[in-house]
Amino acid sequence: SQTIHQWPATLVQPVGSPLSLECTVEGTSNPNLYWYRQAAGRGLQLLFYSVGIGQISSEVPQNLSASRPQDRQFILSSKKLLLSDSGFYLCAWRLTGNTEAFFGQGTRLTVV
Amino acid sequence: GQQVMQIPQYQHVQEGEDFTTYCNSSTTLSNIQWYKQRPGGHPVFLIQLVKSGEVKKQKRLTFQFGEAKKNSSLHITATQTTDVGTYFCAGPTYGQNFVFGPGTRLSVLP
The answer to whether A103 contacts B101, with C-beta atoms less than 8 Å apart, is no
- The pLDDT tens digits of the residues spanning B51-81 come to 999 999 999 999 999 999 999 999 999 999 9
Chain A within 8 Å of B10 (Cβ-Cβ)? no
- The pLDDT tens digits of the residues spanning A88-111 come to 999 999 998 878 999 999 999 999
In A49-88, the residues whose Cβ lies within 8 Å of chain B are 49, 51, 57
pLDDT at B18: 98
CA separation for the pair A86, A72 (Å, rounded) = 25
Judge contact between A26 and A5, C-beta under 8 A: yes
Mean pLDDT value across chain A: 93
Strands (E) in chain A, as ranges, are: 3-7, 10-13, 19-26, 32-38, 45-52, 55-58, 65-70, 73-78, 87-94, 102-103, 107-111
Judge contact between B95 and A44, C-beta under 8 A: no
Q: Which residues contact A61 (CB under 8 A, 6 or more apart)?
A: none
pLDDT at A61: 64
Q: DSSP string covering A39-68, please? A: -TT--PEEEEEEEETTEEEESS-SS-EEEE
**Which chain A residues are closer than 8 Å to B99 by Cβ?**
46
> Which residue among B30, B42, B100 places its CB closest to the CB of A43?
B100
pLDDT at A39: 86
Q: Which residues contact A56 (CB under 8 A, 6 or more apart)?
A: A48, A49, A50, A65, A66, A67, A68
Judge contact between A23 and A90, C-beta under 8 A: no
pLDDT at A99: 87
Q: DSSP string covering B38-61, please? A: -TTS--EEEEEE-STT-EEEETTE
- The pLDDT tens digits of the residues spanning A38-72 come to 988 788 999 999 999 999 998 886 899 999 999 99
CA separation for the pair A74, A65 (Å, rounded) = 11
pLDDT at B8: 97
- The pLDDT tens digits of the residues spanning B2-56 come to 789 999 999 999 999 999 999 999 999 999 999 999 999 999 999 999 999 999 9
DSSP code at position A12: E
Q: Which of A49, A59, A103 to mutate to test the interface with B (most CBs of B within 10 A)?
A: A103
Residue-wise over A39-59: b if at least 16 C-beta within 10 A, else e?
eeeebbebbbbbbeeeebeee
CA separation for the pair A89, A4 (Å, rounded) = 14
pLDDT at B7: 96
